[in-house]
A and B are shown apart, each in its own frame.
Chain A
């Protein structure tokens, strides 16, 4: 089964199946942002689209006692959610793979994919992080 992003413009899936977040780099501010910006939010100068680092450090986490997006059954399960700091200063909020108790602030995390819904032979995915 092939995989595609649930929405274009947030991340890419390489041929080898590995994901990378798409962000913006502002030369004027020397800052990176996620998601893609139309222009630098600080200087209002042009930005370029870049792939962001795929590993970071867990800044915070929680476990939400509700099923993950796309689930069609309610009333059981939950999902981890975290904020991950990438080396270039970007902080990303995303689902976390794993179960409650798996995460500690300061852990190394890696970008991963999470299926959301199937359309024919294609899995539409969002991005998430798992313990590196």
Chain B
């Protein structure tokens, strides 16, 4: 178990389809995290900036709005696991003893990045390995699941609707519906890639999120009566050769990758699935969340559909998944998402999540995948 790293501050800028300038979102999220921690930027020893696209060293340019603090600064990119990796590096910085306080900021706008992809699709410099859109990979995973286990599109719709409705209580979520979203509404939305519809797809947009970690001594000094949130485990793994391994375009990656990373996380944290209070996963589409129920050990192989029918993964159920809306409804700008998961996990463990509170939350698990080739996970624990 990691012994001496605690989350002392978290902050976010709302995730939005039409987002303000990234620089502004960076400042909002970072400043919110510093204020939440009760520290000044000059107290941060190491800063990790995570983003996709954008200009070289963009993060340090934005950080100057916070101050010039002589800190070590590193820019991080691991596709969708960028924010999670920035957090992991901050954890390692404190754990190694290199600093007492480290900060991670994730920030970008996928709508601006998407334009270059659209140009490529329209015939400008097409390449062999960019011919299949990511949505296709997840859809093929879903189609195979339906063939092997009889999973229905209605099950996928129920998972998506659950996450839409979780997001209704998240003020930073991109998709905050003004009504209860039903599976029927999800199924009736525009087809994207069979069997997935647009309301099953992760919301693309921009945003920012930040988390600050520190030693226990610093965390106790700044606690101000709030429970401490300890980082008990941090794991990052890449692919392992498996039967039917795909080397080109495997955005979903081998299922084996999540299982291996989760097992290592449980071992490091000294907990098992029964000890976990809630989970955040890389739910680009509902098939992912469904598979992670099984791959993470919350039910047996092939039993994920039963969890959906039982409502087990809704807030109030046995093991809530995506209590903030997940990638589906909270949104998924590449850099910030992993840190948005840490934000919600911290808020949950402090007991400050309001209408989306997971009662009695003790251990929160967060998981992100980077282009199917990298899995980054953390376990956070409430310490009273």
Contact = CB atoms under 8 A, between A and B. Distances in A.
| Interface size of A as a range | 35 or more
Contacts of A10: 128
Interface in B212-226: none
Contacts of B123: 69-72, 117
Interface in A23-73: 33-35, 37, 41-42, 59-72
A6 B190 contact: no
Interface string B150-169: 00000000000000000000
Nearest to B131: A69
Contact of B126 (A5, A69, A74, A92): A69
Interface in A75-132: 81-83, 85, 89, 91-95, 100, 105, 116-117, 126
A65 B190 contact: yes
A15 interface: no
A60 B122 contact: no
B241 A64 contact: no
A16 interface: no
Contacts, number: 104
Contacts of B311: none
Contact of A105 (B147, B246, B247, B250): B147
Given A89-B243, A95-B131, A61 B143 contact: yes
B140 A83 contact: yes
B147 A41 contact: no
Contacts of A85: 244
A20 to B, nearest CB: 15
Contacts of B245: 33, 91
B56 to A, nearest CB: 27
B132 A95 contact: yes
Contact of B140 (A62, A66, A117): A62
A7 B130 CA distance: 12
B302 interface: no
Interface in B119-141: 120-123, 126-128, 130-133, 135-137, 139-141
B68 interface: no
Given A61-B143, A83-B140, A7 B121 contact: no
B193 A62 contact: yes
A85 B243 CA distance: 11
A105 B144 contact: yes
Contact of A59 (B128, B144, B194): B144
A2 to B, nearest CB: 19
B126 A60 contact: no
Interface string B216-244: 00000000000000000000000001011
9 contacts: A37-B247, A59-B244, A60-B143, A64-B132, A64-B135, A64-B192, A65-B193, A66-B121, A116-B131
Interface of B: 118, 120-123, 126-128, 130-133, 135-137, 139-144, 147, 190-195, 241, 243-250
